[in-house]
Amino acid sequence: MIRLCLAGGLGRMGRAVASLAGSEEDIEIASVFETREAADLAGDYGVTVGYSKNPVVLTSDAAEAVGLSDAVVDFSLPSAFDKIVRACTGASKPLVTGTTGIPEKQEKLGPLASKTAVVGAPNMSVGMNVVFALCHRLGDVMGKTSDLEIVEIHHRTKKDVPSGTAGEIAGILSARTGKPIIIGRPAGAGERDGEIAIHSLRAGDVPGSHSVFFTPQGETLEITHTARSRVCFAEGALRAVRFVIQASPGLYSMLEVLGLESLKEE
């Protein structure tokens, strides 16, 4: 049985992971790391989120939460990220992190990745990572001759703009084509100048939708991924957990988890 520490276990994604883990034969939630205020308000974690598989320790002490686990899943806030990484590094615990909006995130994960396996990804869903893989290839095949536009839609309470997923898509395409990235277009911006543009919409309770437009002369190729619920992200996170438990030390993406890494090779 893999015992998980769930960082941000009271958030939307934390609850989705806990719900899915409750039905898995090989994974259980051993501990949850949350802010002191949230932990005090929640009381019994299992009762609060409907997780009844086993008792769960809910604590605001990152070292305690991490120490009770075999691996850590992080869907916390950026303000908690450094605490989780320090605790994982101190205990050499594998980490799966989907928290976005963190400057220099990959660099911060480096010391931990030298000791154990780490999966850092802006989006854990299987379908979205297929899109990432396709963008590597399509960037080579169509990117330089196409106008490139990215449109992302998320729920009204999402903190970061643009989404980490949209940023990942743009980064892949920019690396393949050499084109610069811009965020939106102000009034009077004029005609295009070879840029990759990201447009962000915030509305209602949309879990997440991303569209990538490749438009050379005479045609448009559109790739769209829509998350209908957070279950797809939770499923990807648990696949990543099973991966880091067995993998050698290093920093991995979901492409390695899913066996798609060959699609990004030169």
Q: What is the pLDDT of residues 135-161, one digit of tens each?
A: 999 999 999 999 999 999 999 999 889
> Residue 62: what pLDDT?
95
Averaged pLDDT for residues 244-258: 95
> Residue 30: what pLDDT?
97
Q: Is 50 left (phi over 0), alpha (psi -120 to 50) or beta?
A: left
**For residue 190, how many C-alpha atoms fall within 13 Å in the half-sphere facing its CB?**
3
> Residue 101: what pLDDT?
79
- Verify whether residue 199 is a known catalytic residue: no
Q: What is the pLDDT of residues 179-212, one digit of tens each?
A: 999 999 988 888 888 999 999 999 999 999 999 9
Output the pTM of the full model.
0.84
Cis peptide before 180 (omega within 30 of 0): no
pLDDT at 255 over 70: yes
242 against 103, higher pLDDT: 242
Cβ-count burial 4-22 (b if 16+ within 10 Å, e if not): bbbbbbbbebbbbbbebbb
All structural domains of the chain, each given as residue ranges with its CATH number in brackets, are: 2-115 (3.40.50.720), 126-227 (3.30.360.10)
> Residue 137: what pLDDT?
93
Between helix 231-246 and helix 12-21 the angle, nearest 10°, is 70
- Of 154, 210, 225, 264, the catalytic one is 154
Number of other CB atoms surrounding residue 58 within 10 Å: 23
Burial of 56 (0-12, 13-18, 19+ CB in 10 A): buried
Least confident span in 1-5, 36-40, 117-121: 36-40
> Residue 187: what pLDDT?
87
pLDDT at 93 over 60: yes
Q: Which two tokens stand for residue 170?
A: 């743009």
> Residue 38: what pLDDT?
76
Spacing of C-alpha 134 from chain mean position: 18
Q: 104-110 contacts: CB < 8 A, separation 24 or more?
A: 105/81, 106/251, 108/81, 108/82, 109/85, 109/251, 110/251
Residue 184 is given by DSSP the state S
> Residue 265: what pLDDT?
63
Least confident span in 94-108, 139-153, 213-227, 246-260: 94-108
Considering only CA atoms, which of 121, 75, 113 is closest in space to residue 93?
A: 113
Best mean pLDDT range from 67-71, 79-83, 187-191:
67-71
Confidence band of 100 (pLDDT split at 50, 70, 90): confident
> Residue 92: what pLDDT?
96
**Contact of 48 with 54, CB cutoff 8 Å:** no
- Verify whether residue 210 is a known catalytic residue: no
> Residue 77: what pLDDT?
85
Q: Which two tokens stand for residue 47?
A: 């009762």
- Of 83, 136, 158, 179, the catalytic one is 158
pLDDT at 266 over 60: no
> Residue 2: what pLDDT?
97
> Residue 39: what pLDDT?
74
Least confident span in 5-14, 99-108, 109-118, 245-254: 99-108
pLDDT at 131 over 60: yes
Considering only CA atoms, which of 18, 4, 116, 20 is closest in space to residue 68?
A: 4
Q: What is the mean pLDDT of the chain?
A: 93
